[in-house]
Structure formats: structure tokens, C-alpha cells
Chain A
């Protein structure tokens, strides 16, 4: 069963801290010699996954196999992998040489070989002649180089890197990125990299694992992830994007922002609701409006160095982000078109809220840990029911007291003409809401649902 091409296999890995599920049934295979990146916003579980691999944490469930051997319960000092920490974690009481030689000395490597290997490692990170320096006297970048040398000198099969460049300034970070990539090529070992910086992930990786809330959202090459995001989270997180509600009319024909476009996606069925992603650099913008597919007015135009970033309001009220080398004056009318291959269609994860509940009386239902009034649809108390509510039929209230339920704004997605919010209730359920009002992440809201807006069916 063991595939020679894979070095690490993660199966059904789960980890919780108290009530909080940090990793939820992770399955992943890491190929020998590849540069793989765990990418996600803070709190998505990427660092926990790395710490499980290093052995600093034990999983609640699941196994980690390395070279066909189960290492799930192996203590960190016996694992054949080394880590580069975010805050370097150099030993302050040792000089550069002794820091790098630390692992070799523990392994009783003869001292003349230690010296040879330390020098080679220092050369690798371009820090020759720094052997006797006190590590506290080094700059952040230099400390990180020593930390990398300290890890690779042990010739691990896998190198784990926990946001190693996060503490460096931009210029330094760019230089180190190139050096890391070069190092990966020279060493030929597997690099497992953790970052929240999507640009860094796209630059460095062979494979990217996009994570959110303890789940893997997508695994793929940087181009796959950028061009073919599997869901709106990935599309929103990786790069800038316009994410819009659309309708697949038939194969290769999709309608959104009030127009019908030719596209290259197939197999969604006819008249299916979908999410459409268009990257801002993929919308062509021209001064003439005659030949354009659709038209609009420029509402803002900001110079971003390489390109201009513009917001355009289309004639039917959708706001689009567009990047172009040429600026267009604010207030001017412009024409736009999109190439079929630049339209990316994604299946919608859901089209309405669906909750399971129990009837308390013919006119009230218990769901999400609260009691809601509902219309009488001939159901009896005690009946198990399924309740469906459209995204735009959930009311959010400023005053928490006014709602039947309270919750917190957890995730915000702009859909061109409205916001799609994920509200986490106090009990931990997710409610999805479409609204024109502007809310901020972490806002506390009251949630109310009008009796007429609930579609209740009996569960069988």
C-alpha cells in the first residue's frame, strides 16, 4: 500500500483544545522532495498541524506515517525531521557555532566532522566567518539564517518551517524567499512550510494546502489554487477577486451581473445557482462603450505601483474591482469585457440555510438552541422537522437583546452588490446571511427570523 513517492502520510488526524476543534479529520499525503505549504488565516490550524508533525503535540485521533512507519506517538527527539521556528529560538547562551553544532554533539558525531558540517551549513546560508559571534548580536535575518543552518546541518529528511520569514521586513523577506527556494533545490529534501502570506505561498511552493477552521479547503499547485479555486473561501483568500452570484444557464453559458457570458465550464447542469470568480486583472476595461460587453462608471482609482486598482459600478448596480496598467478617471464611463477562459465557475456550497429542529407546538419550533415562532403548517408538537431559510430572509439586529438568538460576524464576503456573512451563534452553529448593511468582523448581532420566512418540512 505504501507509495514510494510519498514520505509523509496523514490519516484522519484530529486535534481539539478543550471544546475548540483545531483540526478536523485531516487527510494528506506529502511527496518526497516537494515544497509543500500550509496556508491559511490565523487560527486555521496550520501551525497545530506542523506541531503535530514535529511531535510537540499529540493528536486526539488519526495517524502520521513517515516512510511507512507510524510516528504518531514518537517523541520529538527521535523524529527524523527538524524545525525552523518563527521566532528563531536560538540558544542565547551559545555562540553561532555551538548553536549549529547542538544537534550533532547530541548525536555524538566526531568533532572534526562536526566542524566540517557546521562550516558547510554556514556557507549554505551565507554566514561564513560568523562562527564565534554571540547570537544576540545578530540581526533578525542573520538569526534566521543561523536557525536554518542549525536545522539543516542534521541532514533531516523533512524540514519544517513555521512562518520563518514573518518577523523580517519586506525586502529581507523577498531575498530570503529566493534563498529558501534555492536551498530546497540544492538539498533535495522535503520542505513543509507554514505561512499566512498567500503571496509567499504562491512564490515558494510546489503544492499549497489551503486551510480554514481546521479543515483542508483545497490542495493543489499554486496555479491551480489561483486559477481554479474550489470555493469562495479559497477565491477570497488567495489574491484579489470578484466573487459574484451567478446562474449556469447551460454548459459554457453563465449569467451574472445581469449579463450572460460565454465560459468554459461544463457539467453544472442547467439553471443551477453558482458562484462566479473573476480576478480583477482579468476584466478588460476600455474607454469606448460601443463594443463593450457591459458598461459602468469608475468610482475610485488608486495607483498601486505596477498597476492601477479601480472600482467600477456597472449600470445594473454591481461593484467590480479591476486592475489595469492604464488609469481611468473617476466618474468616467467605461466599457468592459471578460474572456470566457477568465471566468471561473464554482459550485455553491449551499443555496439556503438548513437547520434541523423539533416542533414545540403547531406554531413554534425549536432549533439552534432557541424557540422560534412559525406559521401553522399542520404539524404537531414533537414532530422532527427540517427548516429552510433563504440567506436574505434572516434579520440582523444591532441590539443583541432584540434577537431570538445572538451571534458574532465570523466571515464576510463581498458579492458585488451585497455582503454574504457567516454568523457564528453562541452555540457554535453557522447561519449564512445576505445583507446590504455593512457589518464588521467580530460584531455581535442579534438574529431574528420572521415566521413567514421559514419553510418547514417534516423530516422522515
Chain B
């Protein structure tokens, strides 16, 4: 009995420590105090001023940049990653193992290393850093994740269905469009959502590729803001909203994954 209580409380303590920072921010986003930690009564004023333009124009621009970059990077890396996954899937034996291994390295590589190396690459190629380089950098680190989420769908697929489509008169491209893509679509959607959240979240790679033309994303904006001393109070509701959005996206991914595996189990037990 006591053992059980200890085990339970350990778990809750761990979860509490994990979520305490974000919970505190979320709680204090509903008060007006300038300094974090002072509670001056419940208010949604910070949320209103966040959206009514009470904050500096640059924050709004940063939010816009963050989301357009995420959308672009996620779209392109989903396309690239899916094509790459199909290519890798059709390789045989050692070659496939090697490429899969090479695909995994960038995911394990520390972001800071990815950031610095991309920075050096752009500099040595003489590319002016700015919006384009950030998008390119984000595509570079998102693509492996798309490959990773599309691969299992390909493995589950009956390998004969591509041939069946060809056999019924489809050109290779038609077979890809009408048979392969519908089969791997759930993996592509998961990959897209994952890329989108990774891109919004990223700081290390972004800071090295954003240049000094005054372009800001949310993460770099917050960093700069914090270094100036004291966080803009509106960042509290903003963080809360972003956290809620990411949480929602993750929930969608997990529910989709669960539903897919259930479907698969049903299929197998039939």
C-alpha cells in the first residue's frame, strides 16, 4: 500500500516538475502585473493587448514570420521527405541500411552544430542570410523526420499494390499518385505536423541563419527581448497560446497514430 503511494507520488512529482514552468507562465498570463510572480487579480487584458496591437509591431511581425516559415518548411520537407522515403524503401539490403542510418544522424546531431554548419555553408557560398536561408535551414532539419514518419506506412503497405496498379494500366506516375500517395498519406500528415512544430519551436538553427537584416522569428524575438532585461508581459499569453497549439497538434498526431494501429490490429485479427 505504502509502496503504491510512494510510486504514485513519485510520478506526480516528476510530472509537476516537468510542467511547473509552463503552468506558472499560463497562470500568470491571466493577470496584469508587469513582473512575473506578482498576482494583481484575474484579467485577460494581456490577451486583448496581444491581439489589439498594443504591443510593438515587431512582435506581430515575428509571429507572422514564424508561422509562414513553418508552413513553407513543413510543406517542402513533407514533399522531399516522402519522395526520399519511397526511394529508400525501394533500395535493397546494405544500401537501404546505410541511407536510413545517414538519415538518422541529422536528427541526433545537436541543433547548435546543425546551425553553425549551415551558417558556415551559407557564408562560404556567399548567400546573404535572411528569410530564404532560414526556410532552407528548417527544410534541412525537418526532412529526416518526414522520412521517419512515412517509412512505417511504406513497410505496412502490401508491396504488390504498386505492381497491381501498373498491371492494370497505370503509368508509374499514375500508380504513385493513385495508389502509393493515398497509402502513405497518414504518414505524410504526421510528418507535416511534426515539421511544423519543430520549425516553430526552433531557436538554435534559426539564430545562426537569420542574418542581421532585422528579421525576427518568435524565438529570436523572445531571446532578444529577454536580453534587454525583463520580458514583455504579452509574451506570457503568447507562450501559453503556442503551448496550447503544440499540445493540440501533438494530441492530433497521437490520436491518429492510435487509430491507425487499431485499424491495423483489426485487420490482422480478421
A→B interface (CB under 8 Å): 54-56, 75-78, 82-83, 85-93, 102-103, 106-107, 136-137, 139, 150-151, 154
Known: A77-B171, A91-B179, A106-B169. A83 touches B270 (CB 8 A): no
Q: Are A82 and B167 in touch, CB under 8 angstroms?
A: yes
A87 touches B158 (CB 8 A): yes
Tell me if B161 and A75 are in contact (CB < 8 A).
no
Residues of chain B within 8 A of A136, CB atoms compared:
263, 266-267, 270
Q: Which residue of B lies closest to A54 (CB)?
A: B167
Q: Which 6 A-B pairs have the closest CB atoms?
A: A89-B160, A103-B168, A89-B164, A93-B182, A76-B166, A85-B160
B202 to chain A, nearest CB (A): 34
Provide the bound-state CA to CA distance between A151 and B165, in Å: 11
Give Cα A150–Cα B158 distance, bound, in whole angstroms: 17
How far, in whole Å, are A372 and B131 apart by their CA atoms in the complex? 75
Interchain CB contact (< 8 A) of B168 among A75, A92, A106, A137 = A106
6 A-B contact pairs sorted by A residue (CB < 8 Å): A54-B163, A77-B168, A78-B169, A107-B169, A151-B167, A151-B168
Is A103 touching B182 in the complex (CB atoms < 8 A)?
A: no
CA of A56 to CA of B266, assembled, Å: 31
**Closest chain B CB from A134 CB (angstroms):** 11
Contact at A154–B166, with CB atoms within 8 Å? Answer: no
A371 to B72, CA, bound (A): 68
Contact indicator per residue, chain B 237-264, by CB within 8 Å of chain A (1) or not (0): 0000000000000000000000000010
With contacts A75-B172, A77-B169, A91-B179 known, what are 19 further pairs, Cβ within 8 A?
A55-B166, A77-B166, A77-B171, A77-B172, A77-B175, A83-B167, A85-B160, A86-B160, A88-B158, A89-B160, A89-B161, A91-B165, A93-B182, A103-B168, A106-B169, A106-B174, A136-B263, A136-B267, A137-B270
Flag whether B116 is at the interface (Cβ < 8 A).
no
Residues of chain B lying within 8 A (CB to CB) of residue A93: 182-183
Contact among B158, B169, B178, B179 for A154, CB-based, below 8 A:
B169
Q: Is B170 an interface residue (CB 8 A)?
A: yes
Residues of B within 8 A of A92 (CB): 158, 161, 183
Q: How many angstroms between the C-alpha atoms of A176 and B171 in the bound complex? A: 32
> Closest Cβ of chain A: how far from B152's Cβ, in Å?
15
Chain B interface size, under 10 / 10 to 19 / 20 to 34 / 35 or more = 20 to 34
**Are B163 and A89 closer than 8 Å at their CB atoms?**
yes
Residues of chain B lying within 8 A (CB to CB) of residue A137 = 270
A77 & B170 in contact (Cβ 8 Å cutoff): yes
Q: A77-B171, A89-B158 known; A102 and B183 CB under 8 Å? A: no
Q: What chain B residues lie within 8 Å of A85 (beta carbons)?
A: 160, 163-164
Give residues 154-205 of B contacting A (CB, 8 Å).
158, 160-161, 163-172, 174-175, 178-179, 182-183
Q: Contacts A89-B158, A139-B270 hold; do A102 and B168 have CB atoms under 8 A apart?
A: yes
Name the residue on A nearest B181 (C-beta).
A93
Given contacts A91-B179, A93-B182, A139-B270, contact A154 B160 (CB under 8 A): no
B168 and A150: CB pair below 8 A? yes
Asked whether, in the complex, the Cβ of A82 is within 8 Å of the Cβ of B183, the reply is no
Q: In the complex the two chains form, what is the Cα distance from A78 to B170 in whole Å?
A: 9
Cα of A57 to Cα of B30 in the assembled complex, Å = 66
Point out the residues of chain A lying under 8 angstroms from B266, CB to CB: 136
**Least CB distance, A13 to chain B, in whole angstroms:** 19
Bound: A55/B163 CA distance, A: 9
Q: CA A150 – CA B183 in complex, angstroms?
A: 19
- In the complex, chain B residues whose CB is within 8 Å of the CB of A75: 166, 172
